[in-house]
Amino acid sequence: MAIEKPLVLITDYLEEADIENPVLENCADIKILNTHTDTDIDPFASKVKGILVFHDIKISARIIAKLDQCKGIVRCGVGYDNVDIKAAGEKGIAVCNVPDYGTEEVADHAVMLLLAIARRLIPCYDDIRSGGWQPNHVFGAPRLRGKTVGLIGCGRIGTATALRLKALGLRVLFYDPFATPGLDKAIGMERCHSLEEMLPQCLFVSVHTPLTPKTKHIVNDATLALLPKGAYLVNTARGPCVSGDAVVRALESGQLAYAALDVVEKEPLDDERLRKHPKVLLTPHSAFYSVEGFIEMRRKGSNLS
């Protein structure tokens, strides 16, 4: 008599489980939903033993209440912001993530965005595509070497970003109350103990903090007002860490010169002010991706499940 294998759901983002199958096929039945709607989980909720979730769907308290046999939820990525950890804990369901993939990719992407807005890449490109060949679009671009950049959050990705920025000759400050003591000395950065201390010194700001109740809208009207006028903002962390309304107001007032956002508060983006603003550079939550990094994340997530 064949033994029924436990059911593992892959809720979103994937159309096939070519990476997951070699890890799980001998011990689990895999079901791919590829959904954006949590109600599609309902038919499987009472019998699923494990869930792999990416970032297109939220595993809410409503869903968790129905997971009578589930033993674990794996967030295939960094952070837990789309899993209700409290509800899972009350249900006795373990939750884990994959924190150590994609570090280099996100750091590369953050620096790419910073360089692109500082060097006015998009207006130059648009001008050439429309038949022009004028260097005036780059007029006003600052020399990077010797300028100060502030990092909000300095974990794995923040540290990797700092090393890249130091190689470009920037002075690197960071604010992270949870960073290991001595990190500043080991890497050659300067630690600040508040945003009020750090931001007035920074022409550039790059966000690398996880999303928590305390970091939601950590970049807002008040914090942006601390920056020197004409500053530059990069966010490759989580969209809700930055207030989109505050960014628009800061751009319109000139408090920000440019903003580069890989993540926004609501994805897919539905804010036309950001989408069409000439001083906003957007990428579609793609900073994490490389062929190698995506395989690594999926393989590690499968092993955790």
Alpha-carbon gap, residue 191 to 150, rounded angstroms: 10
Strand partners, 219: 242
Which residues are annotated as catalytic?
238, 267, 285
Handedness of CA 248, 106, 113, 163 (dihedral sign): positive
Crossing angle of helices 103-118/121-129, nearest 10°? Answer: 70
